[in-house]
Amino acid sequence: MSFFESRDPVFDGYVLDNAPLKQLAAGFDWVEGPVWFGDAGCLLFSDIPNNRILRWTPGSGITTYRQPSNYSNGHTRDREGRLVSCEHGARRVTRTEHDGQITVIADGFDGKRLNSPNDVVVKSDGTIWFTDPHYGIMTNYEGYAAEQELPCNLYRVDPVTGQMDAMVTDANCPNGLAFSPDESRLYVADTGRLFSDDPQHVRAFDVGSDGDLTGGDVFYVVDPGFADGFRVDTDGNLWSSAADGVHCISPNGDLLGKILVPELVSNVCFGGRAKHELYVTATTSIYRVSLNRQGTQHP
């Protein structure tokens, strides 16, 4: 039985019938934050409860990149290729310099500590955008249980000037985020609060020339499950995590098809020689499937 579930004929052209959904590695506890390093030919990802960032390399398999990782969650790369990481444990966003030094990008707002930065993207102007839900301080499983000091906002930081702004303040629990290829739109997942019936959807904001956000209507309701993290392909389709796998959603918000994955998916990223491979972090395993699509140039 195929693990592709088409909902629109266009999806049949996005997938390759003879490409397997391959389990690359297993045995983790909760994996997240995949990011591709083409220059190093490897994938980095977080195994959050085990407080480590792991590296998967074709041929060598799994090695440890950083442990402890301050319970790192989401990662991306900035426009100079440097790793940018969300750290639940230290309640901050950091950048790993080319020489290995770690620079703190943000650890507070308005005189209060951040909650537990979850996911991050970098815009073409170098500004760093990240979400700060409270998941990592709710329990000791994915960080250190602590009191919440700030609402669950989405922030933008200019790493040159240090200017930091709360850009989305009306979300419940903002989680994954991604810009459309032309950066005219910002997608933000809201995963609601745990143990409640609060919203599980993706919102779409219009991005102005100075980065200001307007709109924010519901773009896609995730069912089953929730959109934790996602990435965008060069045609603007959103490839989003969901409880039954990965959903491919058109720029109009239509479900085009699914990749059914046997574990709960947390996030995806494009990688490989032509950014035509989709790497999937799913609970205890890493999967990969080749597509007839390509991810945007910057993860």
The answer to whether 131 contacts Mg ion (rule: CB under 5 A) is no
Nearest distance from residue 135's CB to Mg ion, in Å? Answer: 8
Q: Cis (ω within 30 of 0) for the bond into 224? A: yes
Nearest distance from residue 193's CB to Mg ion, in Å? Answer: 14
Nearest distance from residue 266's CB to Mg ion, in Å? Answer: 6
Q: Which two tokens stand for residue 83?
A: 């790793």
Which residue, 175 or 296, is less far from Mg ion as judged by CB?
175
Stretch that binds Mg ion, among 82-90, 98-106, 223-231, 244-252 (CB under 5 A): 223-231
Q: How many CB atoms lie within 10 A of CB 69?
A: 23
Stretch that binds Mg ion, among 16-24, 167-175, 218-226, 250-258 (CB under 5 A): 167-175
Which residue, 33 or 257, is less far from Mg ion as judged by CB?
33
Nearest distance from residue 119's CB to Mg ion, in Å? Answer: 5
Which residue, 72 or 237, is less far from Mg ion as judged by CB?
72
Which residue, 11 or 76, is less far from Mg ion as judged by CB?
76
Which residue, 116 or 127, is less far from Mg ion as judged by CB?
116
Which residue, 241 or 296, is less far from Mg ion as judged by CB?
241
Nearest distance from residue 173's CB to Mg ion, in Å? Answer: 10
Instruction: Reduce the secondary structure of the chain to three states and give it as a string.
Output: CCCEEECCHHHHCCECCCCCCEEEEECCCCEEEEEEECCCCEEEEEEHHHCEEEEEECCCEEEEEECCCCCEEEEEECCCCCEEEEECCCCEEEEECCCCCEEEEECEECCEECCCCCCEEECCCCCEEEECCCHHHHCCCCCCCCCCCCCCCEEEECCCCCCEEEEECCCCCEEEEEECCCCCEEEEEECCCCCCCCCCEEEEEEECCCCCEEEEEEEEECCCCCCCCEEEECCCCEEEEECCEEEEECCCCCEEEEEECCCCCCEEEEECCCCCEEEEEECCEEEEEEECCCECCCC
Residue where the block lists tokens 């989680």: 175
The HSE-up count of residue 144 (CA atoms within 13 Å, CB side) is: 9
- Name which position in 69, 85, 115, 118 contacts Mg ion (CB under 5 A): 118
- Name which position in 46, 72, 175, 281 contacts Mg ion (CB under 5 A): 175
Q: Which two tokens stand for residue 26?
A: 């297993």
Which residue, 66 or 88, is less far from Mg ion as judged by CB?
88
Stretch that binds Mg ion, among 4-12, 169-177, 272-280, 290-298 (CB under 5 A): 169-177
Which residue, 6 or 148, is less far from Mg ion as judged by CB?
148
Nearest distance from residue 177's CB to Mg ion, in Å? Answer: 9
Stretch that binds Mg ion, among 36-44, 114-122, 210-218, 230-238 (CB under 5 A): 114-122
Largest CA distance in the chain: 55
Stretch that binds Mg ion, among 12-20, 173-181, 197-205, 243-251 (CB under 5 A): 173-181
The answer to whether 78 contacts Mg ion (rule: CB under 5 A) is no
The answer to whether 119 contacts Mg ion (rule: CB under 5 A) is yes
The answer to whether 228 contacts Mg ion (rule: CB under 5 A) is yes
**Which residues in this chain contact Mg ion in the complex, by CB under 5 A?**
118-119, 175, 228-229
